[in-house]
Protein backbone atom coordinates (compact mmCIF):
# COMPACT_ATOMS: atom_id res chain seq x y z
CA UNK A 1 0.00 0.00 0.00
CA UNK A 2 1.43 3.36 -1.00
CA UNK A 3 1.70 6.07 1.62
CA UNK A 4 2.07 9.83 1.44
CA UNK A 5 5.06 11.89 2.47
CA UNK A 6 6.19 10.86 5.96
CA UNK A 7 3.03 8.92 6.86
CA UNK A 8 2.45 9.26 10.59
CA UNK A 9 2.38 6.47 13.12
CA UNK A 10 1.87 7.74 16.70
CA UNK A 11 0.57 11.27 17.11
CA UNK A 12 3.33 13.72 18.05
CA UNK A 13 3.01 16.36 20.73
CA UNK A 14 2.22 19.76 19.27
CA UNK A 15 5.29 21.94 19.74
CA UNK A 16 4.73 24.89 17.43
CA UNK A 17 1.97 27.33 16.64
CA UNK A 18 3.17 28.08 13.11
CA UNK A 19 5.28 26.30 10.48
CA UNK A 20 6.81 28.55 7.81
CA UNK A 21 7.26 27.02 4.35
CA UNK A 22 9.29 29.17 1.96
CA UNK A 23 11.92 29.23 -0.79
CA UNK A 24 15.05 30.52 0.89
CA UNK A 25 16.66 32.20 -2.09
CA UNK A 26 13.47 34.20 -2.74
CA UNK A 27 12.38 35.47 0.66
CA UNK A 28 14.60 34.28 3.53
CA UNK A 29 16.75 37.36 4.00
CA UNK A 30 13.96 39.91 4.10
CA UNK A 31 10.31 38.85 4.15
CA UNK A 32 10.38 35.45 5.86
CA UNK A 33 12.87 36.48 8.54
CA UNK A 34 10.79 39.55 9.39
CA UNK A 35 7.57 37.52 9.45
CA UNK A 36 9.15 34.96 11.78
CA UNK A 37 10.35 37.70 14.13
CA UNK A 38 6.92 39.35 14.21
CA UNK A 39 5.18 36.06 14.99
CA UNK A 40 7.61 35.46 17.84
CA UNK A 41 6.99 38.98 19.17
CA UNK A 42 3.27 38.20 19.19
CA UNK A 43 3.99 35.26 21.47
CA UNK A 44 3.57 32.57 18.81
CA UNK A 45 6.06 29.71 18.55
CA UNK A 46 7.01 29.78 14.87
CA UNK A 47 9.18 27.10 13.27
CA UNK A 48 11.65 28.24 10.62
CA UNK A 49 14.25 25.92 9.11
CA UNK A 50 17.51 27.85 9.35
CA UNK A 51 19.69 24.99 8.15
CA UNK A 52 18.16 23.99 4.83
CA UNK A 53 20.82 25.82 2.81
CA UNK A 54 23.44 23.56 4.39
CA UNK A 55 21.77 20.29 3.38
CA UNK A 56 20.90 18.43 0.20
CA UNK A 57 17.65 18.27 -1.72
CA UNK A 58 16.09 15.37 0.20
CA UNK A 59 13.69 16.59 2.86
CA UNK A 60 14.52 15.38 6.36
CA UNK A 61 12.21 13.39 8.61
CA UNK A 62 12.82 16.02 11.28
CA UNK A 63 11.30 18.69 9.06
CA UNK A 64 8.28 16.54 8.26
CA UNK A 65 7.87 15.96 11.98
CA UNK A 66 7.94 19.72 12.60
CA UNK A 67 5.01 20.09 10.20
CA UNK A 68 3.09 17.46 12.16
CA UNK A 69 3.92 19.27 15.38
CA UNK A 70 2.61 22.65 14.15
CA UNK A 71 -0.96 23.88 14.51
CA UNK A 72 -1.00 25.94 11.30
CA UNK A 73 1.27 26.52 8.31
CA UNK A 74 2.06 29.73 6.47
CA UNK A 75 3.13 28.90 2.91
CA UNK A 76 5.03 31.68 1.14
CA UNK A 77 4.61 30.96 -2.56
CA UNK A 78 7.28 32.86 -4.48
CA UNK A 79 8.75 32.77 -7.98
CA UNK A 80 11.14 29.86 -7.38
CA UNK A 81 9.11 27.94 -4.79
CA UNK A 82 8.17 25.14 -7.20
CA UNK A 83 11.75 24.71 -8.43
CA UNK A 84 12.61 23.15 -5.05
CA UNK A 85 11.57 19.53 -4.55
CA UNK A 86 12.19 20.18 -0.86
CA UNK A 87 9.49 22.89 -0.83
CA UNK A 88 7.10 20.69 -2.80
CA UNK A 89 7.57 17.78 -0.37
CA UNK A 90 6.89 20.21 2.48
CA UNK A 91 3.75 21.44 0.77
CA UNK A 92 2.49 17.94 0.12
CA UNK A 93 2.89 17.10 3.80
CA UNK A 94 1.18 20.34 4.85
CA UNK A 95 -1.82 19.55 2.62
CA UNK A 96 -1.95 15.99 3.99
CA UNK A 97 -2.15 17.38 7.54
CA UNK A 98 -4.99 19.69 6.52
CA UNK A 99 -6.98 16.80 5.05
CA UNK A 100 -6.26 14.41 7.91
CA UNK A 101 -6.41 16.74 10.89
CA UNK A 102 -7.99 20.01 9.83
CA UNK A 103 -4.76 21.99 10.23
CA UNK A 104 -5.12 25.48 8.79
CA UNK A 105 -3.02 26.67 5.84
CA UNK A 106 -2.36 30.36 5.17
CA UNK A 107 -1.02 30.93 1.64
CA UNK A 108 0.96 34.07 0.80
CA UNK A 109 1.37 34.83 -2.91
CA UNK A 110 4.62 36.75 -2.83
CA UNK A 111 5.16 38.55 -6.16
CA UNK A 112 3.30 35.76 -7.99
CA UNK A 113 -0.30 35.54 -9.16
CA UNK A 114 -2.52 32.86 -7.57
CA UNK A 115 -3.54 31.65 -11.04
CA UNK A 116 0.13 30.97 -11.87
CA UNK A 117 0.30 28.70 -8.85
CA UNK A 118 -3.08 27.09 -9.40
CA UNK A 119 -2.46 26.23 -13.05
CA UNK A 120 1.34 25.99 -12.86
CA UNK A 121 2.09 28.77 -15.32
CA UNK A 122 5.09 31.08 -15.67
CA UNK A 123 7.98 30.07 -13.42
CA UNK A 124 5.85 27.22 -12.02
CA UNK A 125 5.39 25.78 -15.51
CA UNK A 126 9.14 25.94 -16.12
CA UNK A 127 9.85 24.23 -12.80
CA UNK A 128 7.42 21.39 -13.45
CA UNK A 129 8.77 20.79 -16.93
CA UNK A 130 12.09 20.00 -15.24
CA UNK A 131 10.41 17.83 -12.60
CA UNK A 132 8.56 15.84 -15.28
CA UNK A 133 11.89 15.15 -16.96
CA UNK A 134 13.71 14.28 -13.73
CA UNK A 135 10.93 12.01 -12.43
CA UNK A 136 9.96 10.13 -15.59
CA UNK A 137 9.78 6.94 -13.57
CA UNK A 138 7.63 8.46 -10.84
CA UNK A 139 4.85 10.47 -12.47
CA UNK A 140 2.67 9.96 -9.41
CA UNK A 141 5.08 11.99 -7.28
CA UNK A 142 4.89 14.94 -9.66
CA UNK A 143 1.10 14.66 -9.82
CA UNK A 144 0.89 14.88 -6.01
CA UNK A 145 3.03 18.01 -6.06
CA UNK A 146 0.78 19.58 -8.70
CA UNK A 147 -2.34 18.69 -6.71
CA UNK A 148 -0.88 20.15 -3.52
CA UNK A 149 -0.10 23.45 -5.25
CA UNK A 150 -3.58 23.62 -6.75
CA UNK A 151 -5.19 22.88 -3.37
CA UNK A 152 -3.27 25.65 -1.61
CA UNK A 153 -3.80 28.15 -4.43
CA UNK A 154 -7.56 27.69 -4.03
CA UNK A 155 -7.44 28.76 -0.38
CA UNK A 156 -7.96 32.33 0.78
CA UNK A 157 -4.66 34.09 1.31
CA UNK A 158 -2.68 37.27 0.71
CA UNK A 159 -1.34 38.77 -2.51
CA UNK A 160 1.78 40.85 -1.86
CA UNK A 161 0.95 43.19 -4.74
CA UNK A 162 -2.16 44.35 -2.90
CA UNK A 163 -0.08 45.84 -0.07
CA UNK A 164 2.04 48.98 -0.03
CA UNK A 165 4.98 47.23 1.61
CA UNK A 166 6.10 44.07 3.38
CA UNK A 167 5.37 45.54 6.81
CA UNK A 168 1.66 45.91 6.00
CA UNK A 169 1.50 42.40 4.58
CA UNK A 170 3.28 40.89 7.58
CA UNK A 171 0.94 42.68 9.98
CA UNK A 172 -2.10 41.28 8.16
CA UNK A 173 -0.71 37.74 8.26
CA UNK A 174 0.24 37.87 11.93
CA UNK A 175 -3.16 39.20 12.96
CA UNK A 176 -5.00 36.52 10.97
CA UNK A 177 -2.86 33.73 12.42
CA UNK A 178 -3.29 35.13 15.92
CA UNK A 179 -7.09 35.25 15.56
CA UNK A 180 -7.12 31.67 14.25
CA UNK A 181 -5.05 30.36 17.14
CA UNK A 182 -6.46 32.48 19.95
CA UNK A 183 -8.77 30.44 22.20
CA UNK A 184 -12.19 31.65 23.27
CA UNK A 185 -11.31 33.40 26.52
CA UNK A 186 -14.09 33.15 29.18
CA UNK A 187 -15.95 36.40 29.81
CA UNK A 188 -14.70 36.40 33.42
CA UNK A 189 -11.31 37.38 32.05
CA UNK A 190 -12.58 40.53 30.35
CA UNK A 191 -11.24 42.44 33.34
CA UNK A 192 -7.81 41.87 31.84
CA UNK A 193 -8.67 43.93 28.77
CA UNK A 194 -6.31 46.84 28.43
CA UNK A 195 -3.45 44.82 29.87
CA UNK A 196 -2.22 43.35 26.60
CA UNK A 197 0.68 41.40 28.02
CA UNK A 198 -1.47 39.61 30.59
CA UNK A 199 -4.14 38.79 28.03
CA UNK A 200 -1.62 37.42 25.56
CA UNK A 201 0.11 35.39 28.27
CA UNK A 202 -3.20 33.92 29.36
CA UNK A 203 -4.22 33.16 25.77
CA UNK A 204 -0.95 31.37 25.09
CA UNK A 205 -1.12 29.28 28.27
CA UNK A 206 -4.76 28.39 27.63
CA UNK A 207 -3.98 27.40 24.05
CA UNK A 208 -1.06 25.22 25.10
CA UNK A 209 -3.27 23.47 27.64
CA UNK A 210 -6.01 22.89 25.10
CA UNK A 211 -3.51 21.61 22.55
CA UNK A 212 -2.22 19.01 24.99
CA UNK A 213 -5.74 17.97 25.97
CA UNK A 214 -6.97 17.51 22.41
CA UNK A 215 -3.69 16.29 20.95
CA UNK A 216 -4.88 12.68 20.67
CA UNK A 217 -7.63 13.80 18.32
CA UNK A 218 -5.08 15.65 16.18
CA UNK A 219 -7.51 18.51 15.78
CA UNK A 220 -6.84 22.21 15.66
CA UNK A 221 -8.95 23.13 18.67
CA UNK A 222 -8.94 26.81 17.84
CA UNK A 223 -10.78 27.83 14.68
Burial of 123 (0-12, 13-18, 19+ CB in 10 A): middle
> Which 3 state secondary structure label does DSSP give 71?
strand
Catalytically annotated residue among 68, 79, 90, 96: 90
DSSP 114-153: HHHHHTT-THHHHHHHHHHHHTTT-HHHHHHHHHHHHHHH
Nearest by Cα to 82 from 153, 170, 1: 153
| Catalytic site includes residue 90 | yes
Is 124 in contact with 77 (CB distance < 8 Å)?
no
| Cβ atoms of residues 37 and 30 within 8 Å | no
Catalytic residue numbers? 90
Amino acid sequence: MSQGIGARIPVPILKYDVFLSFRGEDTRHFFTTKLHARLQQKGLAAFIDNERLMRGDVISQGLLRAIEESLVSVVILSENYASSTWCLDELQKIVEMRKESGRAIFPVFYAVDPSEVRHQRGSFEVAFAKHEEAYKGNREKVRRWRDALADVANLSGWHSREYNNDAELIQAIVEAVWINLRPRVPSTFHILQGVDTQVEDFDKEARIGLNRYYNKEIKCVIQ
